[in-house]
Structure 1
Amino acid sequence: MVSTTIKSALVRALSDLPKDDFLAFCHALRDRRAPPRVPYSRVEDRSAPQIAEQLVSTFTERTAREVTLELLRQIHCNEAAEAMDSTTKACVDKGNPDFRRTSTGKLETKPSLEARRHVAGGGPPRARSPEEAGEGGAAASGWLELSGRSIQFGKYTGQSLKWLLENDVGYVAYLLAEPPGPREQKKDSLIQYAKAYPEVWDEVRIQRGNSRPSKSAVGGGALVGFGVHALATLRGLYGSKDPQKRSYVEFLRKKSSSCDPGSKMDDAVGYILQCDRNKAKRTTRQTTSFSPRAVRERQPGGEGVQSSRRRPPRAPWTK
């Protein structure tokens, strides 16, 4: 099957327009204010293939697609715009989700209006079979293919992984943070896809922390359990003066946002970061204890100065 290119889709879309609509499109292109502008001489009395060629040479294929969709909607040829958008989406889609953001620029974790409508509306879309969705089948042939796999369980059954990250990151974090269970194997594709986006994985870690005891609860006597220092205890690794072990501790500090929640590495990172926080607190207390005020209060006369302050006289009628 011959794949559709943006240029061929432009030619087809413009050729399918009625004559009046095609003329309206050419006028809208000529009158478009945003740069780069297309001169009137390159639009007048041109055919659909020539206009498509002009669009691509002026804007590049990707931008030509956006400009064409914009102008088609501007002249109220919405059906033609939707058809072209659907035909060419795969040409520009690399499989990465378009994340929603809050007003402060942070990742929006609440469900979108589309997600809420999906849950409140009728039944979910047709769920693809495991073979079609890629669950349990051959490895993904590409990121775009992975992003299009559908989730096979939960309230968004049948929706693509990309759609899921675009519309309800909070639910994704909840699914990946829950303890292992019967549907764990069905999460393989979702885990692979979500781990590519650090912000999403941070939300998973937050959810994991809210749903199980804090990582700081891992005792220092526990074994590292992985890597070259697997047989060392966490306490021994953290407190070691050995340059190799100290280097390894520094390496683990940098893995805070990328290791799997609940893994041995996650426990080790949590222990190291908790030890760092405790050390910082001790340093702060020591600094405070050696402040000029604290030193004066510990001096022999300091206590006496406070105790020698005169108390207000008692009233004559009190004993």
Structure 2
Amino acid sequence: MDNRKAIKLMLSNLSKDNFEHFCHELVNRKGKPQVLRNRVEGKSRSEITEVLLSTFDDTGAVQVAAELLNEMECNKEADQLLADTDVKCSEPGSSNNPRRKLSQRNVPAESRVSAESSIQQTSGCSQFGQSSFKECLQLS
């Protein structure tokens, strides 16, 4: 899928709260180039797509969007965006490993959280019990 269409589709499928959170994360991200608040505040999803594409190149816009989604713990949406665009993330440990926050490798077995409860604790992008990203979107 074309990167522009994939980003626009991803943004259109975010809830209002998650879209606002995405814009907040975009303005406050530490990487360069920075996105100024006045380019984001009050903008539509289509306009945010254009901000991403004009600030970063086509591939960079996808990478940054996936990074922000992962920061928001919208891991399925990040994975879907990357799959739709066939873009690989360039920063080691960032979007290439979207589940890094959920890793339980170094946690004692008695302290581990079950997969079901960790899904219930996400920020709202992933709905418990949905087997795929597209099924989740159909319920939104």
With the length of structure 2 as denominator, give the TM-score of the two structures: 0.61
Q: Is 2:51 the partner of 1:54?
A: yes
Greater Rg over alpha carbons, structure:
1
1:210-230 per-residue CA deviation (whole Å, 9 max, x = no partner) reads xxxxxxxxxxxxxxxxxxxxx
How far apart are residue 70 of structure 1 and its match? 0.1
Whichever residue aligns with residue 60 of structure 2, its letter is T
Superposition pairs of residues 30-41 of structure 1, within 5 angstroms: 30-41=27-38
Structure 1 segments unaligned to the other structure (5+ residues):
94-319
Q: Which residue of 76, 81, 85 corresponds with 1:79?
A: 76
How far apart are residue 76 of structure 1 and its match? 1.0
Counterpart Cα distance in 2 of 1:35 and 1:83: 24
Whichever residue aligns with residue 77 of structure 1, its letter is C
Q: Which residue of 3, 10, 17 corresponds with 1:6?
A: 3
Whichever residue aligns with residue 71 of structure 2, its letter is Q
Counterpart Cα distance in 2 of 1:55 and 1:86: 18
**Residue 36 of structure 1: SS of its match in structure 2?**
coil
Whichever residue aligns with residue 35 of structure 1, its letter is K
Higher relative contact order (CA 8 A, sep 6+): 2
Partner of 2:14: 17
Residue-pair matches, total: 88
Partner of 1:69: 66
Superposition pairs of residues 1-319 of structure 1, within 5 angstroms: 4-89=1-86, 92=87
How far apart are residue 83 of structure 1 and its match? 1.1
**Residue 76 of structure 1: SS of its match in structure 2?**
coil
How far apart are residue 71 of structure 1 and its match? 0.1
- Which 4+ stretches in 1 moved above 6 angstroms? none
Counterpart Cα distance in 1 of 2:43 and 2:85: 23
1:233-286 per-residue CA deviation (whole Å, 9 max, x = no partner) reads xxxxxxxxxxxxxxxxxxxxxxxxxxxxxxxxxxxxxxxxxxxxxxxxxxxxxx
With the length of structure 1 as denominator, give the TM-score of the two structures: 0.27
How far apart are residue 62 of structure 1 and its match? 0.6
Whichever residue aligns with residue 20 of structure 2, its letter is L
How far apart are residue 79 of structure 1 and its match? 1.3
Counterpart Cα distance in 1 of 2:14 and 2:76: 10
Counterpart Cα distance in 2 of 1:84 and 1:60: 16
C-alpha RMSD of matched pairs (Å): 1.1
Whichever residue aligns with residue 86 of structure 1, its letter is A
Counterpart Cα distance in 1 of 2:78 and 2:13: 11
How far apart are residue 34 of structure 1 and its match? 1.1
- State percent identity of aligned pairs: 39
Counterpart Cα distance in 2 of 1:78 and 1:33: 20
1:285-309 per-residue CA deviation (whole Å, 9 max, x = no partner) reads xxxxxxxxxxxxxxxxxxxxxxxxx
Counterpart Cα distance in 2 of 1:78 and 1:17: 12
How far apart are residue 72 of structure 1 and its match? 0.3
Structure 2 segments unaligned to the other structure (5+ residues):
89-140
